[in-house]
Structure 1
Amino acid sequence: MIFLYYLSHEIYVNTQNSILCDKIYYLNKIMNGVDLFYAIELPQKFGAEHPLGSVMGRAKYSEGFFFYQGCTVGGTVGKNAKIYYPVLGENVQMFANSSILGRCKVGDNVKIGAGALVKNEDIPSDSIVFGQSPNLIIKHIK
């Protein structure tokens, strides 16, 4: 999964050969059931555990990002059809079926609990998050 993402991403960055990149992207999606589009910029150090059904969309990812099954990162449409994307700090962990969507700044060392939905909200560093926006439960963990 990670190898195929990096392969398609490097080909895209160095050659812009989207036809070949599309083929590798779809192969990865079919073989591993995870959506890691070659045009997104994942960090050098990231990981996944049982990532089936996960979609890692456009966002700013930082080192140490880790996700489990059924996770989604992506944009939301705001005023004037402008699309807003999340910014993730270092060592963000997303547990099963959690989502980070839209205009969010997620701090360093944040854990997004299973089933949590963070949408258009900022999360401070060193926190664990439960629930769904706009009624999130945010606990400081240090």
Structure 2
Amino acid sequence: MFSYIKYDFKRYYTLTHGHKIKRYINCFRQPGLHAILIFRFGNWIYKNNIFIKLIFSPIYLLFNFIINSLWGISIEKGAIIGKGFRIGHYGGIFINNASVIGDNVHISQDVSIGVSGQGSKRGCPIIGNNVYIAPGAKLFGKIKIGNNVKIGANAIIYKDIPDNCYVVCDCLKIIERKIDFS
């Protein structure tokens, strides 16, 4: 757990500017870092024995409630998230319990990664390494997102995406209609 936290912090630190103390302060002010730290703590509890669960679960539940309420970030503790996970902007973020996310993934606000489908097609996304997910993107269902993928704003992803791709939502449709102002 601590090696993941160290790597997550390092990722935030390298993306801040200023002198060393200012960079540390800016890192600890990031709601995304708060959320990932609480997730790592909850994930550690989730994987531990019943004694650890009984002692630390109330603390996790309190902090998780605070993160959900203040920042609008919900990362369920059963998700599998690799090192260097970064939330660029907070608000409207949901990551399902069964999601699998690789290393160095960066997500923005209003991103949902959730379950969809029925029967054998029911499941959550598996996201590769070095993926960027732009604001408003929705990923759902039993799909695989490859490595080095960039997903554009407001894209709705429900099919597999191969490695080294850009995915954009280019579905703007303008419907003309005559308006009678008389």
TM class by shorter chain equals 0.7 to 0.9
Aligned counterpart, 2:162:
124
Superposed CA RMSD in Å reads 2.0
If each structure's strand is expressed as a fraction of its own residues, which one has the higher value?
A: 1
| Residues 24 and 39 of structure 1, relative CA distance in 2, 3 Å threshold | farther
Cα separation, 2, equivalents of 1:4 and 1:31: 13
Q: How many residue pairs end up in the alignment?
A: 131
Residue deviations 1:4-63 (CA, integer Å, cap 9, x gap): 222222222223344443323212211221011122121122101112111011211110
- Of residues 36, 45, 54, the one that matches 2:84 is 45
* Larger of the two Rg values belongs to structure: 2
Please give the alpha-carbon distance, in whole angstroms, between the structure 1 residues aligned to 2:41 and 2:83: 13
Q: Name 2:43's counterpart in structure 1.
A: 9
- 5+ unaligned residues in a row in structure 2: which ranges? 1-34, 172-182
Aligned with residue 136 of structure 2, among 97, 111, 126: 97
Inter-partner Cα distance in structure 1 for 2:82 and 2:118: 27
Contact (CA 8 Å) 1:54, 1:69: kept in 2 or not? yes
- Aligned partner of 1:140 in structure 2 is none
What is the identity percentage for the equivalent residue pairs of Structure 1 and Structure 2? 23
What is the letter of the counterpart of residue 26 of structure 1?
Answer: F
Q: Compute the TM-score of the two structures, normalised by the length of structure 2.
A: 0.65
Look up the SS of the partner of 1:11 in the other structure. helix
From the two aligned structures, give the one with the greater helix fraction: 2
Correspondence 1:67 to 2:107: yes
Q: TM-score normalized by structure 1?
A: 0.82
User: Aligned partners of 1:131, 1:16: CA distance in 2, in Å?
Assistant: 42
Aligned-partner Cα distance in 2 for 1:95–1:72: 11
